[in-house]
Amino acid sequence: MSTSSTPDTTHTASAAFRGALDVIGAVEPRIAEAIGAELRDQRESLKLIASENYASPATLLAMGNWLSDKYAEGTIGHRFYAGCQNVDTVESIAAEHARELFGARHAYAQPHSGIDANLVAFWSVLAQRVESPALERAGARQANDLTEADWEELRHDLGNQRMLGMSLDAGGHLTHGFRPNISGKMFHQRSYGTDPATGLLDYDAVRAAAREFRPLILIAGYSAYPRLINFRVMREIADEVGATLMVDMAHFAGLVAGKVLTGDFDPVPNAQIVTTTTHKSLRGPRGGMVLCDDSLAQQVDRGCPMVLGGPLPHVMAAKAVALAEARQPAFRDYAQHVVDNSRALAEGLLTRGARLVTGGTDNHIVLLDVSGYGLTGRQAEAALLESGIVTNRNSIPRDPNGAWYTSGIRLGTPALTTRGLGTADMDEVAALIDGVLSQTTPGTTKSGKPSKASHVLADGVAKRTAERAGELLAQHPLYPGIDLG
């Protein structure tokens, strides 16, 4: 696992983790045991969950310390608590790395997750486009200064804005206006999908929907779309209808950081506001971040306490470490290998007759339509898990099996690439997946009908596959040199 060109500190990291577990175990041994078990499980599983990765020891260690003890609501240099000088340092360094890495005018490192980052972005756009003009009209500095009548009008206006985002079954995220999610309740929402014939984003259809719906926010970004998005075109559409373009790059932030996605495919120069998580392809700690242009910086910096609870300074420290790693030249190689591996995985599946949504991939995601194997996503996920391969079931466009059973399996290569697996290994991974799914059949319900949930795996397949997966993983050890004793 190569994360940077910094000096090798593996031996020291190993001692640090061992020491930490000794200290934790002296208080609550079951927690120390669970932490150790998680490392064992991660080492032993072939992880293809597209949103997961392995953070470096430096990133992990940055989180376990006394920075966690500090309250720091507010923003850098403007806190609601005294004594935040070290948190200011940490947050400034995280923001500086983010700005430099992504070429962003402004970066906000506080969000605790991707959903939090999106909420900050929604609120920032509402504050800029709806609240600020209302305050100005009323001659007020803040909402507290408004008369009751003006306040009622503002609340009405804030609650009646429109958002247009990619539908969940086309690969969009829950927070892009899915009705059961808060985003679908905060905004009048409409979704755009993908072309039924190709599975690809249809920019003309997005433009037509935007012209008709006239959203305040146009969201681009996905968690299960295996192709690229042209953000320049999305910005043109947003500008034409007076919308703010927001890009949620949570999934592909690592590909942006690693300069695999550039020009029209880089969201940062094209969108007014960009949100991300830091733990997926970016390979940092679990958390979120917002990048924006100057026009939204002030609103974004009010994220805490307007939208977020107190920042997590220890996690911001880990974000700073991971972002510093992502600025190393080795990260560009990593990002390119993630996509090379994804293409090799797709190719390996296609040559074995599998059906892929859009027929392939341009990013880190491969969306496998398992109906070709006569299975639901849930059955495929379970059969693969039994065989030592960790994936997640996922809807495919116009999925007949809904969001619970689904007809797809989402595969992603960021984690295995961090472990060092290459394109030849991906062909073997494809063979293992195809082998398991070809030898799995649906189970039956109590009434004798075909089940959407249970599956039957031919004798010996799970054991043989898990053994072969284990051999493959043994060639690419996870956290080599980290020995918990």
Indicate if 446 belongs to the active site.
no
Residue 342 vs 439, nearer CB to ligand DSN: 342
Residue 290 vs 482, nearer CB to ligand DSN: 290
Phi/psi for 289 (5° steps) reads -160, 155
Amino acid (one-letter) located at 41: D
Q: State the catalytic residue, choosing from 129, 162, 280, 452.
A: 280
Residues 29-58 that bind ligand DSN (CB under 6 A): 51
* H runs (alpha helix) in 103-166: 114-126, 132-138, 148-158
Rounded to a whole number of angstroms, the minimum distance from the CB of residue 308 to ligand DSN is 17
The kind and range of the H/E element at 438 are helix 423-438
Q: Does 221 bind ligand DSN (CB under 6 A)?
A: no
Residue 61 vs 274, nearer CB to ligand DSN: 274
d(C-alpha 267, C-alpha 215), whole Å: 19
Residue 79 vs 364, nearer CB to ligand DSN: 364
d(C-alpha 44, C-alpha 469), whole Å: 9
Decide: helix, strand or coil at residue 392.
strand
Indicate if 73 belongs to the active site.
yes
Rounded to a whole number of angstroms, the minimum distance from the CB of residue 112 to ligand DSN is 13
Inter-residue contact 151 to 143 (CB < 8 Å): yes
DSSP string, 145-208: GS-HHHHHHHHHHHTT-EEEEE-GGGT--GGGT-TTSHHHHHSEEEEE-B-TTT--B-HHHHHH
Q: State the catalytic residue, choosing from 277, 278, 358, 361.
A: 277
Residues 170-189 that bind ligand DSN (CB under 6 A): 173
Write out the two tokens for 202.
Answer: 């249809």
Indicate if 33 belongs to the active site.
no
Residue with tokens 């597209």: 50
Residues 58-117 that bind ligand DSN (CB under 6 A): 114
Write out the two tokens for 162.
Answer: 């429109």
Rounded to a whole number of angstroms, the minimum distance from the CB of residue 175 to ligand DSN is 8
Q: Kindly calculate the radius of gyration of the chain based on its CA atoms and give it in whole angstroms.
A: 23
Partners of residue 450 on adjacent β-strands? 444
Residue 335 vs 461, nearer CB to ligand DSN: 335
Residue 74 vs 267, nearer CB to ligand DSN: 267
* Residue nearest ligand DSN by beta-carbon distance: 51
Amino acid (one-letter) located at 195: D
Select from 2, 4, 1 the least CA-distant residue to 323.
Answer: 4
Q: State the catalytic residue, choosing from 116, 169, 248, 381.
A: 248
The pairing of strands 244-248 and 217-221 is parallel
Write out the two tokens for 206.
Answer: 């997005």
Rounded to a whole number of angstroms, the minimum distance from the CB of residue 399 to ligand DSN is 16
Rounded to a whole number of angstroms, the minimum distance from the CB of residue 30 to ligand DSN is 27
Total binding residues for ligand DSN by CB under 6 A? 4
Indicate if 137 belongs to the active site.
no
Rounded to a whole number of angstroms, the minimum distance from the CB of residue 115 to ligand DSN is 7
Which residue among 124, 191, 223, 376 contacts ligand DSN (CB under 6 A)? 223
Indicate if 280 belongs to the active site.
yes
Indicate if 277 belongs to the active site.
yes
d(C-alpha 247, C-alpha 100), whole Å: 19
- Kindly list the catalytic residues: 71, 73, 248, 277, 280, 286
List residues binding ligand DSN (CB under 6 A).
Answer: 51, 114, 173, 223
